[in-house]
């Protein structure tokens, strides 16, 4: 039997553990809320995590190109990028999957000589982690750009109110060649 079959057979258990372990990366009160509410309107973050983790798992099982999985990662990482956590904390949930798979399939790995397939899967998970890190950094850069632009706008408005700066008009604007 191939690793893909073992993963498909245990998909539900792996996903439940992955979701729970990912939720545990949040502060205790937040984790309790994310686990308790199943409604996508009452708990959009929990819903997105659940849906996207399942899509990522399915993509890994089927061997889908990682760029196809990127939108799923993007949805999760965008949520984590606006939170006060480090980049390593934001992407750590992906590494959890490797450990969960090893624990869940421990007997099958030993009995069925699927170590090579497992290493290939773990390599794909590592690549997924790197892709997640890139997404996280892009999101954080966007957030910092938005904050910087907002600060600039506020500063200009304050200076204008204080009449320390005059808005550029066609007559006062510097010549551009």
Name which of 14, 125, 109, 16 is nearest 63 in CA terms.
125
pLDDT number for residue 1: 58
Q: Determine contact, residues 36/50, Cβ cutoff 8 Å.
A: no
Residue 115 pLDDT: 85
**DSSP letters for 115-175:** HHHHHHHHHHHHHHHHHHHHHHHHHHHHHHHHHHHHHHHHHHHHHHHTTSS----TTTSPP
Q: Mean per-residue pLDDT for 33-61? A: 90
- State residue 170's pLDDT score: 60
* pLDDT tens for each residue of 91-102: 999 999 999 999
Structure confidence at residue 138 (pLDDT) = 94
pLDDT over 80 at 71, yes or no: yes
Q: What is the mean pLDDT of residues 71-87?
A: 92
* Cα separation, 125 vs 120, whole angstroms: 9
**Residue 84: its pLDDT value, please?**
85
Per the listing, tokens 């109110």 go with 161
CA-only gyration radius of the chain, Å: 23
pTM over 0.85: no
| pLDDT at site 174 | 59
Report the pLDDT value the prediction gives residue 68, as an integer from 0 to 100: 93
The pLDDT value recorded for residue 6 is 93
- Give me the phi and psi of 44, to 5 degrees please: -65, -35
| Whole-number average pLDDT of the chain | 89
pLDDT, residue 83, reads 87
At 173 the pLDDT is: 57
Angle (deg, nearest 10), helices 44-62 and 66-81: 160
């Amino acid at each position: 039997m191939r690793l893909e079959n073992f993963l498909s057979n245990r998909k539900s258990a792996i996903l439940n553990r992955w979701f729970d372990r990912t939720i545990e990366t949040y502060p205790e009160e937040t984790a309790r809320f994310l686990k308790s509410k199943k409604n996508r309107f009452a708990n959009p973050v929990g819903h997105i995590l659940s849906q996207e983790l399942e899509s990522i798992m399915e993509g890994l099982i089927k061997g889908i190109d990682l760029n196809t999985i990127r939108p799923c990662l993007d949805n999760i990482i965008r949520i984590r990028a606006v939170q006060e956590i480090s980049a390593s904390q934001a992407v750590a949930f992906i590494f959890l999957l490797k450990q969960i798979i090893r624990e869940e399939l421990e007997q099958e790995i030993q009995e069925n000589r699927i170590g090579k397939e497992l290493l290939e899967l773990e390599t794909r998970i590592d690549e997924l982690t790197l892709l997640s890190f890139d997404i996280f950094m892009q999101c954080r850069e966007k957030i910092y750009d938005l904050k910087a632009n907002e600060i600039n706008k506020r500063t200009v408005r304050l200076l204008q109110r204080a009449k320390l700066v005059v808005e550029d008009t066609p007559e006062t604007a510097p010549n551009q060649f």
